[in-house]
Amino acid sequence: MKPFHTHHGRVAPLERVNVDTDQIIPKQFLKRIERTGFGQFLFYDWRFSGDGKKKVGFVLDEPRYAGASILVAGKNFGCGSSREHAVWALTDFGFRAVISSSFADIFANNSTKNGFLTVQLSEQEAAEVMRRAREKKDYELTIDLEQCEVRDDQGFRAKFPVDEFVRHCLLNGLDDIGLTLQHEGEISAYETAHPAPRSLLSSEA
């Protein structure tokens, strides 16, 4: 996993609440069996018309937000389907982080496995970032995971919460399967004490 320390980048505002993962990556693109190549389909139904032509006016396609690597959106971002493809689409498109006042649990969990940061600010702080991204030209932010802080060069500064273990994994780009397997002894002991029920082990199917 790509480590996340400090990231500085342009901010794009997505002024929607409850952005669900069906919007982030529509289901017709979930049939790929790779982890890559999903960026071109990000927010597809909002960005493209039915015949595949680019629509006019979607925020990510405005020239002023070209190359944005931080997204700021309304509350409950990433709700709905558990599809990790949503995170893959955001990262493949070039995003390293999303800022919101709240995130759906599974989306937030999936993000941590992909070096992608979900930055939770208060509603006022998130609204202020949204306002600045909308009103200020070339608005950029620094997201500092060492300090758990978001700041711009115009006086905005906010702390964000992050689970200590998640932070440790993100800072070091750790594979958490490897970390769990450090507990092989305990897992084996648990399995000895709790064997799979015989009915599950039967070979009939």
What residues make contact with other proteins under the rule CB under 8 A?
15-18, 20, 22-23, 26-28, 30-35, 45, 50, 74-76, 79-85, 87, 102-106, 109-110, 113-114, 163-166, 168, 176-177, 179-181, 183, 186-187, 190-191, 194, 196-202, 204-205
Nearer to other proteins, 50 or 155 (CB): 50
Minimal distance, residue 122 CB to other proteins, in Å: 15
- Which residue's CB is nearer to other proteins, number 93 or number 107? 107
What is the nearest approach in angstroms of other proteins to the Cβ of residue 157?
Answer: 24
CB of 93 to other proteins, least distance (A): 18
Q: Which is nearer to other proteins, 32 or 136 (CB)?
A: 32
Sign of CA dihedral 111, 21, 131, 139: positive
Shortest Cβ 9–other proteins spacing (Å): 24
Pairing mode, if any, of strands 97-100 and 70-73? parallel
Element containing residue 86 per DSSP (H, E): helix 85-93
Instruction: Go through 107-121 and write b for each residue having 16 or more CB atoms within 10 A of its CB, e for each that does not.
Output: bbbbbbbbbbbbbbb
C-alpha–C-alpha distance, residues 99 and 11, integer Å: 9
Closest approach, Cβ 64 to other proteins, in A, equals 21
Which lies closer to other proteins via its Cβ, residue 24 or residue 97?
24
Phi and psi at 64, nearest 5°, equal -65, -20
Cβ proximity to other proteins, 31 vs 54, nearer residue: 31
Phi, psi angles (nearest 5°) of residue 166: -60, -40
Q: Which residues contact 81 (CB under 8 A, 6 or more apart)?
A: 20, 21, 22
